[in-house]
Amino acid sequence: MHIDILTLFPEMFSGILNTSILQKAQEKEKFTYDLVNFREYTTDKHQKVDDYPYGGGAGMVLTPQPIFDAVDAKMKNTKTTPRVILMCPQGEPYTQKKAEELAQEDHLIFICGHYEGYDERIRKHLVTDEISIGDYVLTGGELGAMVVIDSVVRLLPDVLGNKASAPEDSFSTGLLEHPHYTRPANFRGMKVPNILLSGDHAKIKSWRKNQSLQRTYERRKELLQDFPLSEEEKEFLSRLEKD
């Protein structure tokens, strides 16, 4: 996978892209990236990339020309049709399902805006996806793009050391993940559940599934509305409700 990131502040990405899992993914040649300062594509003699909004109002709006030209330049260098992603608080709420969808692509282009907003022609005629990481406003799209890139790259084949890690993540199964424990078995009087020390893998698997169901029921009950429950799982949740 190749990822292009259009931003006025490329220096913001140096840490996250060259640390931890993302760095290892590059070393394994699972993805490459290019940081593009779209100010370099402006035809304005003062290097401006924003202007006052038509009709008046507060703030400045990113002009279409430098962003369109930057995307055009990136599309000339690819054999595939990239997904062009606009980071925007008005966009589609980001989910694990969306991360899994984007992880199937060969080329992603992220547009990270600043100021009051984007010229609407960018939204209507250039992008394929608008993504929001939450119902709040940041100073720019960079932090949101980092979140999306991290969540996508870790899903690429062989990026994570344990192949079972990603499929068992919270939301990947449709439920929140079960609790985890490690050594020591007894820490300050707080003990690991005996079932996890039993060596009975069938019982451990059942316990983890029930714990996942219980955690989802207690914390994100709405996730269970469309989850395909077995009869056994329905009975377990029924007992939870009675308790």
Q: Residues within the annotated binding site?
A: 113, 133-138
* Active-site residue, 169 included: yes
Residue count of the chain: 243
Which of 53, 64, 89, 179 is catalytic? The answer is: 89
Binding site for S-adenosyl-L-methionine: which residues? 113, 133-138
Closest CA to 137 of 117, 109, 123, 119: 117
Which of 105, 116, 177, 233 is catalytic? The answer is: 116
Q: How many CB atoms are located within 10 Å of the residue 96 CB?
A: 16
Contact 139, 76 (CB under 8 A): no
User: Can you read off the two tokens belonging to residue 18?
Assistant: 């060259």
* Active-site residue, 158 included: no
Q: Strand 50-51 relative to strand 61-62: parallel, antiparallel, unpaired?
A: antiparallel
Q: How many CB atoms are located within 10 Å of the residue 159 CB?
A: 21
Which helix or strand (DSSP H or E) is residue 142 part of? helix 142-153
How big, in percent rounded to 5, are the helix, strand and coil portions of the chain? 40, 15, 40
* Active-site residue, 119 included: no
* Active-site residue, 239 included: no
Question: Could you please report the per-residue DSSP string of 34-49?
Answer: EEE-GGGG---TT---
Which of 69, 101, 130, 169 is catalytic? The answer is: 169
User: Can you read off the two tokens belonging to residue 188?
Assistant: 């300050």
CA distances from 225 to 13, 93, 101, 170, 234 (A): 38, 18, 22, 16, 12
Residues with a catalytic annotation lie at 89, 116, 154, 169
